[in-house]
Amino acid sequence: MYRVLFIIATLLVTLGAEAKELKVMSYNIRNCKGMDKEIVYARVSDAINGEQPDIVMLQEVDSCTRRSSGIVVCDTLASLCGMQAVYAPAIDFDGGKYGIALLSQDKPPIVKRYALPGREEKRALVVTEFKNYVVASTHLSLTEADRNASLPIIIEAAKQYKKPFIIAGDFNAEPNEEFIKNFSRHFTIVGDLVTNTFPADKPNIKIDYIAIFNNKAGKKVKWSDYRIIDEPMASDHRPIVAKLKY
C-alpha cells in the first residue's frame, strides 16, 4: 500500500515538474519607430501585452538619446507592460546609448553583459539567470565573420549553466546561411525556418530566432505554439513568440 502511494506521489511530482511553462517573445523594436516612421511606444507595448509573455528579448533599444528625448526606452516599455527591465548598451549613440534589453515578469537576481564583435557597430549579449532557467537577448552583426566570431562567446556563456539556456534575438542571418548551420550544432531553434519576420509590412526573410542551448537541461525543453505575430506597423520587424515547457 505504501509503495503504491509512493509511486503515485512520485508521478505527481514528475507531472508537476513537466508542467512548468515559459512564454518567450523576441522583438526587434527599431526603437519603437514604426513603418510609418513614427515613434509610438504604445504600439510596441500593445503588441507585447497582447501576448502576455513571461520574458521579452528586445533589440535596437535607445537609452537617453536625443532622438528619444532623453528617456530610457526599455524602462518606458517595462512600465507600460508592468514588467522589469534589464538593459545592455552596445554603443554610445546620439548623446546616450543604443543596444539590447530584456523585459521579465520577475526581476532576475543575476545579470551578465557581454561585448560581441561587429565591424559596422559593436554588439552585445545580455544573460539573465532566474531560479529555473536562463534567458539571453542579442542582436548580431550584419557581417558573417563577426557573427561567427560571436558564436564561441555565446556558447561559452551558455556553458556556465546547468539550467535551460534560452537565447533569442535578431541574428541578422537567414536560415540557409553558414552561421545558422554552425549555430544549430549547439542550439535547437524553436519553430520553423520558413516563416519570415522582416520587413514587418511584407516579410520576405527570416532573421529573428528563439533557440535553446543543447545542454542536458536544454534537451528536455519542449516547445509549442510558435508564432510570428501579425504586427505590420509598430516596428520594421515582426515579433515572434513561443511557449516552452521545462
pLDDT at 195 (0 to 100): 96
Domain count, the chain: 1
Domain coverage including residue 43:
20-245
> What is the mean pLDDT of the segment spanning 157-186?
98
10 domain residue, yes or no: no
pLDDT at 119 (0 to 100): 95
> What is the mean pLDDT of the segment spanning 169-188?
98
Q: Does the structure show a pLDDT above 80 at 13?
A: no
9 domain residue, yes or no: no
Dihedral through CA 31, CA 36, CA 37, CA 38, nearest 10? Answer: -70
In the 3-class helix/strand/coil scheme, how is the chain assigned residue by residue?
A: CHHHHHHHHHHHHHHHHHCCEEEEEEEECHHHECCCCCECHHHHHHHHHCCCCCEEEEEEEEECCCCCCCCEHHHHHHHHHCCEEEEEEEEEECCEEEEEEEEECCCCCEEEEEEECCCCCCEEEEEEECCCCEEEEEECCCCHHHHHHHHHHHHHHHCCCCCCEEEEEECCCCCCCHHHHHHCCCEEECCCCCCCCECCCCCCECCEEEEEECCCCHHHCEEEEEEECCCCCCCCCCCEEEEEEC
Q: Does the structure show a pLDDT above 80 at 232?
A: yes
Q: Does the structure show a pLDDT above 70 at 19?
A: no
CATH number, domain of 197, equals: 3.60.10.10
14 domain residue, yes or no: no
**Chain segment 22-76, per-residue pLDDT in tens:** 999 999 999 999 999 999 999 999 999 999 999 999 999 999 999 999 999 999 9
Top pLDDT among 136 and 19 is at 136
12 domain residue, yes or no: no
Average pLDDT, the chain: 94
pLDDT at 78 (0 to 100): 98
**Chain segment 196-223, per-residue pLDDT in tens:** 999 999 999 999 999 999 999 999 999 9
- Cα–Cα distances in angstroms (integers) from residue 117 to residues 130, 153, 164, 177, 199, in the given order: 26, 10, 25, 18, 25
Weakest mean pLDDT among 18-32, 84-98, 107-121: 18-32
233 domain residue, yes or no: yes
Q: Rounded CA gap, 201 and 181, in Å?
A: 28
176 domain residue, yes or no: yes
26 domain residue, yes or no: yes
pTM, to two decimals: 0.91
Q: Rounded CA gap, 153 and 156, in Å?
A: 5
